[in-house]
Amino acid sequence: MLGQFNNVGVRNCNGTKLRYDQACLEIITDGPVTFWSQYEECEDCMLLETANLKKSGPVVLETISPIRYAIQSEDNEICNGTYEFEEFGQYSINVANDSHNCQPRMTAEPDAAYLPILTAVVVLLSLATLWYIVKGILKIIIAGRFYSRYFAREDNELGSETRVIVTSEPRSPTRSRLRSLDIFRGFSIALMIFVNAGGGGYSIFTHAAWNGLTVADVVFPWFAFAMGESLVLSLNARLRTSLPRIAALKQVAQRSLLMSIVGICLSSVNASWYDVRWPGVLQRLAAMYLIVGALECAFMRTSQNITPGRSLFRDVAAGWQQWLATVLLVAIQVCITLTVSAPGCPRGYVGPGGLHRTALGDFSLVNCTGGIAGYIDRLILGSSHLYKGGSFRKIYMPLQPHDPEGLLGILSGVLVVQAGAHATRIMLVYNHARARIMRWVFWSIVFSVVGGALCEFSKNGGPIPINKNLWSVSYCLVTAGMAFFIQAVLYFLVDLKTKWGGRPLYYAGQNALFLYIGSELLKRHFPLYWHVPAPTHSQLLATHATAMLIWLAVGVALHRKRIFITL
């Protein structure tokens, strides 16, 4: 198969060195032509002029999405088509001699761009397996005091007590931890560190351009879900020790304020006061934590009425007031989004603006980025204080900034944290493990089906597409449904069957916020960041995975010292 291609593995385009996610297209023509193209990811976007060739020549193309293209002469369009070019591939299109065949012909085979991911997974699994083998051998050979000193504490962590705590408030020394929750939180924070480091340059580890869902898009809501779980566990323990509800609310507000301040400080690194970013990940978490925490302080039941005849609805009865308030907030977000129009924009518009156009071919949406949600953020917070980046900017090229952690999305985001709170309420009101798992799986199905129905189980369809930039209701429902299922699986494997200890994710979950803040502050410093000239996916994947592993090692070290740092 490889023998039919010439120059296999060539990484240049007629002298121009290709970088990762680029391909070379040679256009063969006997006269001047223009090459027009657009990413298929760019919904309803017009083609843009990419190259103007007076004779046969190369065109460098990005491979992050299939490309729609057209080749035009001075008088008319010669041909058009859609093709998915692959990384470092060499292609040609012959439009000479009145040829109208626009199908590219591969002249050099592309690289296997995703092979480094498979290699990394195999290496990590091999290292983990080797660790357990070595540990098992040491258990057998080395007995007595040496084994007790280095391994016994690790094996008895399930339900262990916290001995040394570095925190802003005292924690009860008798409080046990749900191990699967720490593992879930550790998994979320490890994936978040990897994604924020760059994710190896892969599109699946980069946020979706606008609508849709990637691996990077599920990390934040999963962490928010875990935050809701730990919030209810903590408040339940405090309120049951006769802590006044107003005092508990004060503690929630203090933690929320501190989290917001830290988030703003992270956003102000290398920024002046006039362009510091007000919204952010920690600020969004703080706002959702405050709202859900206030609801729990007001309505949480510290004693559960375990009546056999009401077992089917016990979890709903324990939190119906919190859910009523949450549904009201979500309804407000949906009504504002779909019924209020931003100035100069159609009602209910939730697109990216820029090159995006409506089904009627309206190109006047260039300043409508984010619809009413984007307008509210620009009006209240100011355009200079919003996020300047975003994967959608390269595709849609909008003129207005848009912040994915804006104000309106807080209302829908509460749904995710409340789902996490409900997951813990299920654990508190049901003593039987099977009942807990069945209900987590049940709510996983309900949330996922409802969220899928809102987007018609498609990327851009339905009344409310899945959209992380706006934290649409469908996005919150689907990611919360996934989190319910993951919690059920982890609980079954870790807490019920004790088949997996979850190391080192378990350690990272105990200091998740500290690891996130540290990774954000130091992610551009050695050894967490290496400058690689003309990098490839494999090089980027190695550097970004190393950064994640270093922070996991920090989590292990903190656990060994019995240090748990929280806000």
Residues with catalytic annotation?
207
Residue 274 host element (H or E): none
- Neighbouring residues of 429: CB distance < 8 A, sequence distance ≥ 6: 304, 306, 314, 315, 318
Is the bond preceding 58 in cis, omega lying within 30 degrees of 0?
A: no
Q: What phi-psi label fits residue 432: left (phi over 0), alpha (psi between -120 and 50 degrees) or beta?
A: beta
- Upper half-sphere CA count for residue 38 (Cβ side, 13 Å): 15
Q: What phi-psi label fits residue 323: left (phi over 0), alpha (psi between -120 and 50 degrees) or beta?
A: alpha
Taking the C-alpha atoms of residue 226 and residue 240, their distance in angstroms, rounded to an integer, is 21
Token reading at 354: 């820029």
Taking the C-alpha atoms of residue 465 and residue 455, their distance in angstroms, rounded to an integer, is 4
- Upper half-sphere CA count for residue 340 (Cβ side, 13 Å): 14
Nearest alpha-carbon partner for 24 in 108, 114, 113: 108
Residue 233 neighbours by CB distance under 10 Å: 19
Cα–Cα distances (Å) from 384 to 202, 380, 381, 388, 400, in that order, read 29, 11, 8, 8, 10
Print the SS3 string covering 488-556: HHHHHHHHHCCCCCCCCHHHHHHCHHHHHHHHHHHCCCCCCCCCCCCCCHHHHHHHHHHHHHHHHHHHH
SS3 68: strand
Taking the C-alpha atoms of residue 289 and residue 303, their distance in angstroms, rounded to an integer, is 23
Residue 111 is given by DSSP the state P
Residue 166 is given by DSSP the state B
Q: Does the CA dihedral 512-514-519-520 come out positive or negative?
A: positive
- Neighbouring residues of 91: CB distance < 8 A, sequence distance ≥ 6: 23, 24, 25, 26, 83, 85, 104, 105, 106, 107
Taking the C-alpha atoms of residue 186 and residue 503, their distance in angstroms, rounded to an integer, is 9
